[in-house]
Amino acid sequence: MESTGIALALVILLFSSSVILVQCNEEEESLIDWKENLGLGKEKVSRLHFFFHDTLSGKNPTAVRIAQAAITKTSPTLFGVVNMADDPLTEGPEPTSKLVGRAQGFYASAGQQEVCLLMAMSYSFTEGKYKGSSL
């Protein structure tokens, strides 16, 4: 009698899990159909090449420290430091080369044991093919 109850429970479990699997597959297919019907077209890849200049000192710094933790000065990774930036993006590696845009945002040292940088930047292009665009 006990083995009949176990067998019945296993059959019910098997049936209910197969219904769940069928439901998941149907949802996955409907998600794929939804994406294809958006009319987004083919993906396009653009290769950008520019130079990012982050100047922390001197007469005209482009990034400044806006916050730090109590332990930042003794941390080997500068953990807790936060910098705000408005950095030029140029066509060539020299800071004096043609300006093509700006990188604006902040970055912070997020690792206590190893160097780990958290960045949130917007890249705005002011010249060339991508003038008026931003990332």
pLDDT in tens, 29-70: 666 676 677 777 787 888 899 999 999 999 999 999 999 999
Say yes or no to pLDDT of 5 above 90: no
* Residue 20: per-residue pLDDT: 46
Of the candidates 89, 88, 86, 94, which has an alpha carbon nearest to the alpha carbon of residue 64?
Answer: 86
* CA 95 to chain CA centroid, nearest Å: 27
Local structure of residue 98 (DSSP, 8 states): P
What is the mean pLDDT of the segment spanning 107-123? 95
Which H or E run includes 19? helix 2-36
Q: φ and ψ at 17, to 5 degrees?
A: -70, -30
Model confidence, pTM: 0.66
Say yes or no to pLDDT of 116 above 50: yes
* Residue 22: per-residue pLDDT: 45
Gap between the Cα atoms of 33 and 23, Å rounded:
15
* Residue 58: per-residue pLDDT: 94
Weakest mean pLDDT among 25-34, 114-123, 124-133: 25-34
* Residue 9: per-residue pLDDT: 60
Tokens at 16, concatenated: 């209910």
What is the mean pLDDT of the segment spanning 68-95? 96
Kindly report, residue by residue over 85-112, the tens digit of the pLDDT: 999 999 999 999 999 999 999 999 999 9
Are 66 and 60 a contacting pair, CB within 8 Å? Answer: no
